[in-house]
Amino acid sequence: MSKRLKGLLTPVIAVLLGILVGTIIMLASGYDPVAAFSALWNGVFGDIYSFGEAVRQITPYILAGLAVAFAFRVGLFNIGVEGQFIVGWLAAVWVGVAFDLPRAIHLPLAILAAMIAGALWAFIPGLLKARFRVHEVIVTIMMNYVALHVTNYIIRNVLASKSGDKTDMIHESASLRSEWLQSLTDYSRLHWGIVIAIICCFIMWFLLERTTRGFELRAVGFNQHAAHYAGMSVNKNIILSMLISGAFAGLAGSMEGLGTFGYAAVKGGFTGVGFDGIAVALLGGNTALGVFLSAILFGVLKVGALNMPLEAGVPNELVDIIIALIVFFVASSYMIRALLDRLSKKEVK
Amino acid sequence: MDYVIEMLNIRKEFGGFVANDNITLQLKKGEIHALLGENGAGKSTLMNVLFGLYQPEQGEIRVKGQPVNITNPNIANDLGIGMVHQHFMLVDTFTVTENIILGREITSGGRIDIKKAEKEVRDISERYGLAVDPQAKISEITVGMQQRVEILKTLYRGAEILIFDEPTAVLTPQEIKELIQIMKTLIKEGKSIILITHKLKEIMEVADRCTVIRKGKGIGTVNVSETNPNELASLMVGREVVFKTEKKEAHPKQDVLEVNDLVVKDARGVTIVNGLNLSVKAGEIVGIAGIDGNGQSEFIEAITGLRKSESGSVKLNGKELINHTPRKITESGVGHIPQDRHKHGLVLNYPIGENIVLQNYYKKPYSKNGVLNFKEIYKQAKKIISEFDVRTPSEYTLARALSGGNQQKAIIGREVDRNPDLLIAAQPTRGLDVGAIEFIHKRLIEQRDNGKAVLLVSFELDEIMNVSDRIAVIYEGKIVAIVNPKETTEQELGLLMAGSNRKEAGEGTHV
């Protein structure tokens, strides 16, 4: 079996295994698996509206995945993407609400604000790591809570509209929404963000693989001692990687603020996008292309699953379990690859 | 039956590459059998076949006359084969006993009976004269002791046949002596030993017989008592090897490196370089001789910018460089072949080609406006690979996949090619075979002849005596003597290294 064939076969088998175990669970609990999985499929590919929604959902997943992956390549575990995502979301909406500018200035400004907010939020753990070797996992987790409650406070007390727990709608000039994309997809909430996300995949690839800066960042990720020996500044690269990672996360937040919703609301808890970003990144092997593909898988499952209770009567809890199973099997693709290796060895003998 | 292990006509391929071709090795009971070969000759492959990590394509393995099929290391263990790895497989935060019993714990009622285990470890240790403290933490004992723990591990598991993989590569001369003693004790107690090495001196000293392999092929087995180092070397390399490095008279010129009253602290905050003075001139090789732990590593790290200095002065061509960044120091004209090539010298997960430009990637032509130019990078890599005889499938191969000797040649190529005014070589030939050592010594002397200053640090007295034009002896963080290699002996050096002063040590002339 060729290497390429194995690479293609592995995720397919993983998804099939996930479906298989999901089927067993559904049969055991008295639901119709055929109806459930066709509901999942229809939830994404059944009509153009759902498809548009899936693409919309994929957008923040790509960016959150890139954020985690970028830090990971430099040897840092940025668990704080969720927090950076939330502050990015609020910063984008704030600029979107507070200013009245031509679109060519307003939209980029709002996006930039989100990136800066996310980057600053990630700068603190980056600085603490570089200066005092404080572990970034601890700091970023704590920063998530700070982000959640600080943004809630600002929304309630500074930016709240009359209803009290969310901001006003952003001005049209700061919006990522597109009449054209919406009309194409039967008025889903699809917006221009997906284009930005794809461009960011390219930027991430280029930055890491093709530039001297990326050469340094990856070297620091692989071997800090050798990077230091070679004259690279380890601390500078650690901080920089957190800044860029945070900027990606903030950008992901602006997708929700400027695209999907157009406002920011008080949140009872985390959105989960930042945490899903960890899974997206690891599943995608922390490469730009890998993140893009695994974000598609996550987005499709997430949106398609919404249709399972409606069309097949499967309870939400079971839907979550089935999604988790599919992701589990994809993530344990190492197991499957080992199995394929063994099979192909037998063929030779 | 005479033989405890027979490996007959072993052949092992990796994709079209033949790593072992028709190799036969027969180990007698109670002998020390050396396995000699250059880096990458296939010694490790052969031992991995014996240990069950690889399956041979052809050939037969017999243990005590019985044909066996060793498909994994557990089977090798059960057959009484134990491996003392070159890179130790120990848990740093565990004690000696905990490491030894790991996987074979003595339990009573579900709890580890550490008392009983410690007693057993102590018994074995005493029986073979290993003198290991069962309660010490691995992180707190010396490398030599850690190796003994590895030996204990195999003995604890009932090994009758011990494979030592390059055991002396990481040891100081004193530790090597002790290890040889231990090996002899093991033999007395009825064990058999396969010793993988490329150090001829050790083979002559301890081995009974020696099997030589060259480029994957079995060359033959000789009785050590009937051979000499020269013959072994030419068997291994396939040509005559010159041991005494040929070199012309040195013509030292102006000072390139001047170090004055340098003070450096080690990782624990203890002053380890304590007022060190040294100068290295253009056109000479200065060798630093000393017992490990007398501050030589920290000294090198300080002058290359890897470690902070407390006080003093480090001048290169008259310019103060103390506590400058590694980049500034590199750019001022310092090349550094680091002591630990895996830690400092290479990014193992980068292709060897990208490691070649590890310090130069940001300069033209390797990049322009911050974008890497891979064409130029790999062009340079190809040049270094061919000039320095780095044996690698391609310049795109990960550095990790190269053998130690070839990794070292790549680093040396990289540093020499930058043509630095001062070349610092810290243990440049550690773990390498005679062919590679000869090559590296030639390159160092070539740099000297081109009017560059070379600073050599080595624990191998042979190397220091052979290559240096002046020898600086380091003891407790100070240079205590400077001697002329032509006018000194290993004995005198040894005494100086141990801290006795010059008059007691003998008549070395001050150069």
DSSP B256-311: EEEEEEEEEE-TTS-EEEEEEEEEEETT-EEEEE--TTSSHHHHHHHHTTSS-EEE
> At A185, is the secondary structure helix, strand, or coil?
coil
pLDDT score, position B275: 94
Q: What is the pTM of this model?
A: 0.79
- Helix ranges restricted to H, B57-134: 73-78, 96-101, 114-127
Give yes or no for residue B386 having a pLDDT over 80.
yes
Per residue of chain A (349 residues), give pLDDT as tens.
566 677 677 777 877 888 889 899 989 988 888 998 899 899 899 899 999 999 999 999 999 999 999 999 999 999 999 999 999 999 999 999 999 999 999 999 999 999 999 999 999 999 999 999 999 999 999 999 999 999 999 999 888 877 778 899 999 999 999 889 989 888 899 999 999 999 999 999 999 999 999 999 999 999 999 999 999 999 999 999 999 999 999 999 999 999 999 999 999 999 999 999 998 998 888 999 999 998 998 899 888 888 888 888 888 787 788 778 877 887 787 777 777 777 766 554 4
Taking the CA of residue A239 and the nearest CA in chain B, the distance in Å comes to 18
Nearest partner of B219 among B16, B403, B49, B35, judged by Cα: B35
**Whether B509 contacts B488, CB under 8 Å:** no
Q: Measured between CB atoms, does B350 come within 8 Å of chain A?
A: yes
Residue of B nearest to A349 (CA): B57
Q: Does the beta-carbon distance from B345 to A229 stay under 8 Å? A: yes
Is the reported ipTM for this assembly greater than 0.90? no
Q: For residue B261, is pLDDT > 60? A: yes
Q: Which residue in this structure is represented by tokens 């839907």?
A: A319
What is the Cα–Cα distance from B408 to B389, expressed in whole angstroms? Answer: 11
Cβ of A222 and B350 within 8 Å?
yes
Whole-angstrom CA distances from A281 to A220, A238, A274, B133, B282 are 19, 19, 11, 46, 53
Q: Which amino acid is at B439?
A: F
Cα–Cα dist A324/A327, whole Å: 5
Contact, B95 vs B121, CB < 8 A? no
Tell me the C-alpha to C-alpha distance, in Å, between residue A343 and each of A335, A336, B71, B410: 13, 10, 18, 39
Query: Do residue B326 and residue A225 have CB atoms under 8 angstroms apart?
Result: no
Spatial separation of the C-alpha atoms in residues B377 and B355, rounded to whole Å: 10
Q: What is the 3 state secondary structure string of B174-188?
A: HHHHHHHHHHHHHHH
pLDDT-wise least confident of B354-368, B437-451, B487-501: B487-501
pLDDT of residue B511: 42
Percent of chain B with pLDDT over 90: 53
User: Do A223 and B338 make contact, defined as CB atoms within 8 angstroms?
Assistant: no
DSSP state of B508: P
Q: Is the pLDDT of residue B421 over 50?
A: yes
pLDDT at B239 exceeding the cut of 80 = no
pLDDT at A71: 96
Burial of A312 per CB tally in 10 Å (0-12, 13-18, 19+): buried
How far is CA B399 from each of CA A234, B260, B409, rounded to the nearest angstrom?
A: 21, 37, 12
For the beta carbon of residue A30, count every other beta carbon within 10 angstroms.
Answer: 6
Q: How far is CA B475 from the centre of its chain?
A: 22
Cα–Cα distance between B173 and B168 in angstroms, integer?
Answer: 9
Q: Is the dihedral of CA A244, A250, A256, A259 positive or negative?
A: negative
Which of the residues B337, B346, B361 would you substitute to probe the A interface, choosing the one with the greatest number of A C-beta atoms within 10 Å? B361
Q: E strands of B365-464, at which residues?
A: 367-368, 371-372, 422-426, 453-457
d(CA A89, CA B15): 53
> Which residue in A229, A235, A237, A349 has the most chain B C-beta atoms within 10 A of its own C-beta, making it the best mutation to test that interface?
A229
| Among B354, B392, B389, residue whose Cα is nearest residue B373 | B354
Q: How far apart are CA A91 and CA B466, in angstroms?
A: 68
- pLDDT, tens digit, for every residue of B352-370? 999 999 999 999 999 999 9
User: Does pLDDT of B236 surpass 50?
Assistant: yes
Average pLDDT, chain B: 89
Dist CA A132 CA A139 (whole Å) = 12
The span from the CA of B325 to the CA of B265, in Å, is 17
**Which residues on chain A are in Cβ contact (under 8 Å) with B347?**
219, 222-223, 226-227
Q: What is the predicted pLDDT for the residue at B496?
A: 87
Read off the DSSP letter of residue B343: I
Select from A73, A212, A228 the residue whose CB has the most chain B CBs within 10 Å, as the one to mutate to test that interface.
A212
pLDDT attached to residue B502 = 61
Q: Read off the tokens for B321.
A: 């460089």
Contacts of B352 in chain A (CB under 8 A): none
Which element (helix H / strand E) includes B147? helix B143-156
Say whether residue A316 is in contact with chain B using an 8 A CB cutoff.
no
Q: Which residues contact A109 (CB under 8 A, 6 or more apart)?
A: A95, A99, A101, A174
- Chain A interface test: which of B331, B349, B358 (most A C-beta within 10 Å): B358
Which letter does DSSP use for residue B229 in this model? H
Confidence of residue B509 (pLDDT cuts 50, 70, 90): very low
Which pLDDT tens digit goes with each residue over B267-313? 888 899 999 999 999 999 999 998 878 899 999 999 999 999 999 99
Whole-Å CA distances, B442 to A248, B235, B282, B454 = 52, 21, 17, 12
Place of tokens 């030939």: B429
Rounded Cα–Cα distance for residues B359 and A211 (Å): 15
Percent pLDDT > 70 in chain B is: 97
Residue B147 neighbours by CB under 8 Å, 6+ apart? B84, B88, B167, B170, B171, B175, B179
Tell me the one-letter amino acid at A316.
N
**Rounded-to-integer distance, Cα A249 and Cα A119, Å:** 8
Residues B358 and B407: their CA atoms lie apart, in Å, by: 14
Residue A345 in contact with partner chain B when CB distance is under 8 A = no
Residue in B330, B343, B347 nearest the CB of A231: B330
Q: Please say if the pLDDT value at position B452 is more than 80.
A: yes
Q: Which of A46, A68, A44 is nearest to A57 (CA)?
A: A44
Tell me, rounded to whole angstroms, the distance of Cα A319 from its chain centroid: 20
Q: Name the nearest CA neighbour of B334 among B201, B430, B454.
A: B454
Nearest beta carbon to residue A229 from set B338, B349, B367? B338
**B348 contacts chain A (CB < 8 A):** yes
Radius of gyration of chain A (CA): 21
pLDDT at A349: 43
Do A64 and A89 form a contact (C-beta atoms < 8 A)? Answer: no
Mean pLDDT of B21-37: 92
Under an 8 A CB cutoff, do B349 and A222 touch? yes
Contact A223 B343 (CB under 8 A): yes
Residue carrying the six token digits 């810290």: B426
Contact B306/A at CB under 8 A? yes
A–B: how many Cβ contacts below 8 A? 62
**Chain B environment of A210 (Cβ under 8 Å):** 371-372
Rg (C-alpha) for chain B, rounded Å, is 24
Phi first, then psi, for residue A286 (nearest 5°) are 60, 25
For residues B280 and B257, is the Cβ–Cβ distance under 8 A? yes
Identify the band that residue B508 occupies on the pLDDT scale cut at 50, 70 and 90. Answer: very low
User: What is the structure's pLDDT at B404?
Assistant: 81
Q: Cα angle at B418 between B413 and B421, to 5 degrees?
A: 115
Whole-number Å distance between alpha carbons of A101 and A95: 10
Question: Rounded to whole angstroms, how far apart are CA atoms B449 and B447?
Answer: 5
DSSP A174-198: G--B-HHHHHHTTS---BTHHHHHH
Burial class (CB in 10 A: 0-12, 13-18, 19+), A199: exposed
Q: Do A223 and B347 touch (CB under 8 A)?
A: yes
DSSP-derived 3-state class of residue B206: helix
Task: Give dist(CA B414, CA B423) in Å, integer.
Answer: 11
* Helices B404-417/B434-449 angle, 10° precision: 10
Query: pLDDT at position B25, please?
Result: 92
- On the question of pLDDT at B431 being above 90, the answer is no
Top-confidence range, B18-32, B163-177, B495-509: B18-32
Q: In what order do the strands lie in the sheet with B285-289?
A: B334-337, B422-426, B453-457, B285-289, B470-475, B478-483
d(CA B483, CA B82): 44
Measured between its terminal Cα atoms, the distance across chain B in Å is 61
